[in-house]
């Protein structure tokens, strides 16, 4: 099967709606990561077929649990999960935050080449970044342990928003350390097509949320 067919099949398996045009742009994004990866070391995954599973489908798997329209991707790296989410949901406004100048340079180029008008890029450490407004969802894919994620980025979440920590195996130890001020809503098992590994998303909210 081609990458396009694999992507379409994966999206169908996930049960989400991603228009054909957005699927083409997801593959354009994959090609861009592959091209820039040689010089910028954006990801340790090098093979496009593996990138499709480990990055694109892995990012899209969390889509049903993300609340729009304002979404912040903390420690986004190559734009994951933020760029796949932005392509799948053009009506959302997604901010990609990373402290690496190299990675944010790539992200700005990706914005231009993919014509992404619903993305903002910020190069800063999350604890020092002055967010203009709180976000409906604050998500991280490989940023830090849950307690650190909440401590550093929790202030950027709206009172009725959600914090999503994307993880591999069920993070028992990390969830035992959730700080006061936040409550664990649920831990969702994510089934990523073609990926023979555990994936989970911990959904947390500010304690004052209803």
Question: Please, what are the domains in the chain?
Answer: 3-206 (3.40.50.150)
**Cα dihedral sign for 147, 152, 157, 163?**
negative
> 3-state class of 92 per DSSP?
coil
- Give CA–CA dist 1/116, Å, rounded: 28
Q: What is the CA radius of gyration of the chain?
A: 16
Judge contact between 201 and 152, C-beta under 8 A.
no
> 3-state class of 94 per DSSP?
strand
Question: Given pLDDT bands bounded at 50, 70 and 90, which one contains residue 210?
Answer: low
Q: Residues of the chain with pLDDT > 70: what percent?
A: 99
**Residue-level pLDDT at 209:** 61
- Give CA–CA dist 97/104, Å, rounded: 8
Judge contact between 3 and 49, C-beta under 8 A.
yes
Biggest CA-to-CA distance, the chain: 48
**pLDDT mean over 82-87:** 98
pLDDT at 41 over 90: no
* pTM (2 d.p.): 0.96
pLDDT at 185 over 80: yes
């Amino acid at each position: 099967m081609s990458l396009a067919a694999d992507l379409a099949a994966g999206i169908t398996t996930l049960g989400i709606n991603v228009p054909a045009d957005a699927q083409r742009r997801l593959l354009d994004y994959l090609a861009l990561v592959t091209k820039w990866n040689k010089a910028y070391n954006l990801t340790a995954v090098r093979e496009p077929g593996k990138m499709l599973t480990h990055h694109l489908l892995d990012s899209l798997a969390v889509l049903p649990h993300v609340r729009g329209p304002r979404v912040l991707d903390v420690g986004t790296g190559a734009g994951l999960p933020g760029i796949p989410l932005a392509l799948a949901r053009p009506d959302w406004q997604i901010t990609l935050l990373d402290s690496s100048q190299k990675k944010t340079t790539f992200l700005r180029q990706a914005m231009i080449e993919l014509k992404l008008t619903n993305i903002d890029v910020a190069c800063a450490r999350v604890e020092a970044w002055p967010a203009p407004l709180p976000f409906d969802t604050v998500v991280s894919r490989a940023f830090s342990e849950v307690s650190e994620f909440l401590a550093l980025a929790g202030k950027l979440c709206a009172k009725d928003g959600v914090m999503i920590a994307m993880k591999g195996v069920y993070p028992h130890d990390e969830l035992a350390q959730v700080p006061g001020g936040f409550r664990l809503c649920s831990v969702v098992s994510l089934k990523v097509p073609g990926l023979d590994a555990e994936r989970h998303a911990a959904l947390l909210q500010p304690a004052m949320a209803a």
